[in-house]
Chain A
Amino acid sequence: MNTFEYAPAPESRAIVDIKPSYGLFVGGEFVDGHGRSFKTISPSTEEVLSEVAEADETDVDLAVKAARRAHSRVWGRMPGKERAKYLFRIARIIQERGRELAVLESIDNGKPIKETRDVDVPIAAAHFFYYAGWADKLKYSGHGTESLGVAGQVIPWNFPLLMLSWKIAPALACGNTVVLKPAETTPLTALLFAEICQQADLPPGVVNIITGAGDTGRTLVSHPDVDKVAFTGSTEVGRAIAKSVAGSDKRVTLELGGKAANIVFDDAPLDQAVEGIVNGIFFNQGHVCCAGSRLLVQESVADEVLGRLKRRMGTLRVGDPLDKNTDVGAINSAEQLAKIRRLSQIGEQEGAERWSAPCDLPDHGFWFPPTVFTGVTQAHRIAREEIFGPVLSVLTFRTPGEAVEKANNTPYGLSAGVWTEKGSRILKVANALRAGVVWANTFNKFDPTSPFGGYKESGYGREGGRHGLEAYLR
């Protein structure tokens, strides 16, 4: 049989211009930090991309002051319809500079260009467009019309620009100003976004971007003049934040980890379900808080689903994130790779059976092949802990009741998937699942109009949609 190999289809890097070093974006300008600096690398090559300032306490304080000034003097007083126009401008500039943002995101994060180009960037622009429209319609929101003040926002490395837009767009629409800290491994698109704010003539101090790691984030969320804390990241850090704001007047939203069940019933359209399983766990290298990391498949179709799944996994193309044919890119950091390897090892030690798709991994950079564990029980750590990588744990069930019980048997509750041709079953199971988002016969769908957020230890508050305004209004 003839097989046709894919020719390389690399997206050009020429469109991005990465500076050798970046300062902090405070008060509408790039300024030098008072602390040290750190390097950001490309996870697919380990090449050093740039050196970025690490904001210390003084820097955080200056940024919060700039945001406070902008809130009390300009942004908090500006009529909603004028705030809207700035947000529309930002949406348009993101669209105009979309390819540049996509390439930069792929380089800094390691995710495939296919995803940055078709998912991260367009949805980021859509978020600004959507919330721009809310800025002068807050009285229709049902959540009040007054801004809170200064929002301190800390975002993760898995969707750097998209998480930035989820945070900044609603905050600004409601009249708040922000100090945002991108993750230490993926600061570059946030810094490019700072430039976009300049191009949009956004008043100085409305958006401040400070780079740094955990210490910077802690300093920001515990700063006494921050009115609102918004965090996306691990449950562990979310818990620490919840403790640190106890007793204060700060409003908090937390979007944390997950261990989503993707439930496949025996009447499901199996090819579609397999696509959904693959998308659910291998999209973005599995670096997705709502990833469908636990496959619950009905016993009667388990062998068939697994057979099809492995065959499909064998066709996934792992490699250069800038190649337009790449399905699975690089693991974001050495640290994350180590965590995925450790948990996978534990999975084997605890008796689950490991299978990885045969694929050639590049010599440099951080890589992990798409992997599935079978024979997993609910007691196994790989069924309980968030791996945040391309690793799927497979469990089986016999009845819908058992499926729901297993699906809910987790401290998390961010998302879930249901696959069946029967509409009434979808709704019954969806009602019984303790999760903030339930996808039926689809998975990993995101839209600015659709609220997102978790039950239980996956955090509290919702981002997106009309509900997303609540966190930024009083």
Chain B
Amino acid sequence: MNTASTRIDVRKTYKLFIGGGFPRSESGHSYVVSDVRGRFVANAALASRKDARDAVAAARKAFPGWSGRTAYNRGQVVYRIAEVMEDRRPQFVEALRQGEGRTPAAAGKVLDESIDRLVWYAGWADKLTQVVGNANPVAGPFFNLSTPEPTGVVAVLAPQGSSLLGLVSVVAPVIVAGDTVVVAASTERPLPAVTFAEVLATSDVPGGVVNILTGSLDRTAPTLASHMDVNALDLTGLAGDPEQATELEIQAAANLKRVRRAPAAEPDWSVEPGLDRMTDVLETKTVWHPIGV
């Protein structure tokens, strides 16, 4: 190889995404990410327990602002994520090729589905209340109205297999509902998550609304499950691992987190979702008011 005439690539450093910034792990640890054939691709940050706590703090800080925005505005912001993702096609296709071993065409299709999923969820922002909330005809002179409200900070263990479509499918419903999220990305396939973080950072999503941790679930998951300032826990990433999932569910009971249990196997993400990923992270508030002159 003629090194004098060949340009050497500038490689990207894959870091965490916390509070809108891209820090390395405070522990200084990283781990090797390989492609499907076992070749080295990058060193990703190995998030520590402290990183997980920092991420929860950032998510909590962002919650009042994000949940206080109008549903219309949240819908626009999530739609904007889809727009920016569309703009970064080559990068995602390459990441899916490396991490999931897909052909460029198949990777492109997964990317299409990921973008469409964001658009689908964006539309829910200002419709969810109309579909799951309602006026209640109580037997008395009272106005009585039930509306959904976000539960707070949600910790999500993202699917291990589907590193982009799966990730988008578990993050989008949480933020559309008005919650903020700390998501632990697929351990072996974390790179699409970091690229997704870069999309979020340029999509009008306020810092801290989505926080992304890469690394081993052994370090982050117990911290998130037992954290007293986390309101809900999604164990999707532990599909097929009922033992660890049960252990985390027990820890989550300390402050009665709403737990979405791990499925027996990773679901088919190409199927149109239902409302449950949003309603799982919503509370229902019912307001009574007397009617009378």
Contacts and interface: CB of A to CB of B under 8 A. Distances in A.
B289 A424 contact: yes
Contacts of B126: 130, 133, 448-449
Nearest to A431: B291
Contact of A133 (B75, B141, B289, B293): B75
B76 A129 contact: yes
B123 A84 contact: yes
A429 B79 CA distance: 40
Interface in B103-134: 116, 119-120, 122-127, 130-131
Contacts of B143: 427
Given A424-B289, A425-B293, A466 B123 contact: no
Contacts of A400: 293
B259 to A, nearest CB: 25
Query: How large, as a class, is the contact surface on chain B?
Result: 20 to 34
A81 B289 contact: no
B127 A81 contact: no
Interface of A: 81, 84-85, 88, 126, 129-130, 132-137, 140, 400, 423-425, 427-429, 431, 448-449, 465-466
A448 B123 CA distance: 13
Given A431-B291, A449-B127, 7 more contacts: A129-B76, A134-B123, A136-B123, A137-B123, A140-B131, A427-B291, A449-B130
Nearest to B132: A140
A162 to B, nearest CB: 16
A129 B119 contact: no
- Grouping DSSP codes into helix (H, G, I), strand (E, B) and loop, the B interface class, with mixed when no group exceeds half, is helix
Nearest to B124: A133
Contacts of B28: none
Interface centre among B120, B291, B292, B293 (most CB of A within 10 A): B293
A465 B289 CA distance: 24
A132 B131 contact: no
Contacts of B130: 449, 465-466
A129 B291 contact: no
A84 B75 CA distance: 14
Nearest to A427: B291
B195 to A, nearest CB: 23
Contact of B131 (A129, A423, A424, A466): A466
Given A133-B126, A449-B130, A84 B119 contact: yes
A126 B72 contact: yes
B125 to A, nearest CB: 8
Nearest to B292: A424
B140 interface: no
Contacts of B119: 81, 84-85, 88
B290 interface: yes
Given A88-B119, A400-B293, A424-B293, A130 B72 contact: yes
Interface of B: 71-72, 75-76, 79, 116, 119-120, 122-127, 130-131, 141, 143, 275, 289-293
Interface centre among B125, B127, B292 (most CB of A within 10 A): B127
Contacts of B125: 133
Contact of A137 (B72, B116, B124, B291): B124
Contact of B292 (A85, A137, A140, A425): A425
A85 B289 CA distance: 41
A133 B291 contact: no
Contacts of A425: 292-293
A133 B72 contact: no
A466 B79 contact: no
B75 A81 contact: no
25 contacts: A84-B119, A129-B72, A130-B126, A130-B127, A133-B75, A133-B123, A133-B127, A134-B123, A134-B127, A137-B123, A137-B124, A137-B127, A140-B127, A424-B290, A424-B293, A425-B293, A427-B291, A427-B292, A428-B141, A429-B293, A448-B72, A449-B71, A449-B127, A449-B130, A466-B131
A400 B293 CA distance: 7
B124 A428 contact: no
Interface centre among A85, A427, A431 (most CB of B within 10 A): A427
A401 to B, nearest CB: 8
A133 B122 contact: yes
Contacts of B131: 140, 466
Contact of A428 (B75, B79, B123, B293): B293
Nearest to B76: A129
A88 B120 contact: no
Contact of A424 (B72, B123, B291): B291
A84 B118 CA distance: 12
Nearest to B79: A88
A419 to B, nearest CB: 14
